Structure 1
Amino acid sequence: MNSEALLWGVAITAIVVANIVLVALAVIVHRRWQAAFTQAKDSASEGAALLAELRALAATQTALQAELQKSHTETLAATEALRLDVRALSAALGVFGQRLGRIEEDLERRAEAAQPVGVRTELERKSIEFATRLASRGASADELVELCGLSRGEAELLMRVHAKPGAKQEGAGR
C-alpha cells in the first residue's frame, strides 16, 4: 500500500511539473508573441509560426498526459499483480506451516514409539527401588502410591512380590 501511494505521488508530481513547464513555455511564447505583435503588427508569418509553436506545445502536453496515464495504468496493474503474488505466497506459507506441524507431530509419535518398552528414566528406576525397599519393610500400597508416585496397580504388584509373608496388604483385590 505504501508503494502505491508513492507511485501516485510521483505521477501527480510529474503531471504538476509538466503543467508548470507548459505554462512557463506558454507564458514565454505569449510574451514573444506580444513582443512580435507590437514590433511588427503586419508580420503575419511570425504570428503563424508562434501559433504553430503553441499548437506543437499543446500536442506535446496531450502526449505527455497520455503517457502519464498509461504509466499510471501499468503501475496499478503491476501493484495488483504483486498483491496477488503476496496472497499466494501467504497461502503457501500457511500450507507449509500446517505440513511442518504434521511432520513434527509424526516425528514425536515415531520417537515415542521407537523408545523400547521397559526403559525407564533414572528417576523412575530409583523411585521403584525405593518403593521395593518400602514394600519389603511393610509399607502399604497407599503409602507406595503417595510416597513414590506409583500407580495403584504398580504398588499392589510390588506389595505382592516384595512384601514380607503375613504382612497386611491394603488395597489388594481392588
Structure 2
Amino acid sequence: MLAALIVLVFICLGLAGACFLLWQELKRQSSKFVQHEETTEKRLRALAKRLETYQAGTVRMGEQLHEINEIVAPLPDRLTRIEQSDPASLSFSQAARLAGLGASVDDLTQSCGLSRAEAELISKMHKARQQS
C-alpha cells in the first residue's frame, strides 16, 4: 500500500510539473499573441492613414479634372465662332482640315501660317473630337 501511495505521489508531482510547464508555455504564447496583435493594429492604422491620403488625393484630382473640363469644353465652339467671324481665319479652317488628314503641328505652322500654340490647339482639339 505504501508503494502504491508513493507511486501516486510521483504521478501527482509529474502531473503538477506538466501543468506548470503547460502554464508557462501558455503565458509565452499569450505574450506572443498580444505582441502580434499590437503589430497588426499598428500596420492597420498605417494602412488606414495611407488609404485616407490616397482618397483625399483622388478627390482633389477629380475636382481639378472637373475644373479643367469646364475650361476646355467650350473651346471647340469658341474656335468655330472665331473661324466664322474672322475672314482671315481661312488658315484656321485649312489647318482643321489638314489636322483631320493627320498633319503634324509643324506642318500646320508651315502651311497655314499659324503660331505653334495655335497649331497645337487645333491638333489637340481634332484628336479630342476623334476620341469622343
Q: How does 1:113-132 map to 2 (within 5 A)?
A: 113-116=75-78
* Residue 89 in structure 1 maps to residue 48 in structure 2: no
Per-residue deviation, 1:91: 0.1
Q: Which residue of 1 aligns with 2:37?
A: 75
Q: Which has the higher contact order (CA 8 A, sep 6+)?
A: 1
Cα distance, 1:41 vs. partner?
A: 8.7
Distance 1:44 1:86 in 2: 62
Aligned-residue CA RMSD (Å): 2.3
Q: Report the Cα offset of residue 98 of structure 1.
A: 0.8
| Matched residues, number | 81
Cα deviation 1:38-78 (Å, max 9, x = unaligned): x7598323212211110110110110121111111111111
Aligned to 1:33: none
Q: How does 1:15-164 map to 2 (within 5 A)?
A: 40=2, 43-116=5-78
Question: Structure 2: where are the runs of 5+ without partners?
Answer: 82-132
**Structure 2 CA distance, aligned partners of 1:42 and 1:92?**
73
Q: Which consecutive residues of structure 1, in runs of 5 or more, have no partner in the other structure?
A: 1-38, 120-174
Distance 1:77 1:83 in 2: 10
TM (norm. structure 2) is 0.54
With the length of structure 1 as denominator, give the TM-score of the two structures.
Answer: 0.42
Q: Of Structure 1 and Structure 2, which has the larger fraction of its residues in helix?
A: 2
